[in-house]
Amino acid sequence: MIKTTMRTLAAAALALLPLTAATPAHADTISLHDGIEALPQAAESRDGYERTKFKHWVDQDKDGCNTRAEVLISESRIPVEIGPGCKILSGLWFSYYDQQQVTEPRGLDIDHMVPLAEAWDSGASQWTAARRQAYANDLDAERSLVAVTAKTNRSKADQDPAQWMPPAAEARCTYLADWVATKLRWNLTVDHTERNALRDLATTCPDTDLEYDPV
């Protein structure tokens, strides 16, 4: 299931500063501030977490391309070169976390906006295996999965915004909006520390809105 043409066209139009996203057809649009306040609050627990409990990088529509390949195809600024088994051989990507252009797909990771471990802590521990798989392969909301440099993705690891923010200042308001939108989309919670950090960080983003389509 290759993501929508709209996403690809929007990404191409924003090659120099891709900090906004196309609005899903049935999305709720609210301010970043209101989004933060709308997040349900609960204590976090990582008890029982295993990454394998989120089956990811699957070929959801049986077209031969798994989720990683779908994201790379969608986000490339030029037509990708595809080898056997839907292996992505070349393209042009913009890693918005660090404002870097990348031409070598091996230099990219596909980041879960809200990491799998953080999702587990925030309510996914109570989900069915099918819902966790849907979350881990969410191609229906363009903020859920994003191609970024491996370096930035691995520095982020499973941290929330209280612990990690993108190194590029230009990316931070978009990142906050994407983080909050993803949590709202999947009805994930925040703890007290995370909410306070989001509030503080959002003071530098007074005109930022977010869109989300609840699952």
User: What single string gives the DSSP state of each residue in 157-182?
Assistant: TT--TTT---SSGGGHHHHHHHHHHH
Closest CA to 183 of 198, 170, 196, 171: 198
For residues 89-126, b (16+ Cβ closer than 10 Å) or e, as one string? eebebbbbbbbbebeebeebbbbbbbbbbbbbbbbbbe
CB-side neighbour CA atoms (13 Å) of 114: 28
- Give the pLDDT confidence score for residue 27 in this predicted structure: 76
Tell me how far CA of residue 38 lies from CA of 34, 35, 54, 189, in angstroms. 6, 5, 26, 10
Tell me the mean pLDDT per 10 residues along the chain, length 215.
38 36 62 98 97 97 96 98 97 98 97 98 98 98 96 98 98 98 98 98 97 96
Q: Cα(111)–Cα(95) distance, rounded to whole angstroms?
A: 11
Nearest 5°: the CA angle 194, 18, 148 is: 65
pLDDT at 28: 86
Please give the pLDDT value at position 26. Answer: 63
Task: Tell me phi and psi for residue 93, to 5 degrees.
Answer: -125, 155
Give me the half-sphere count of Cα atoms (radius 13 Å) on the Cβ side of residue 180: 30
Model pLDDT, residue 15: 36
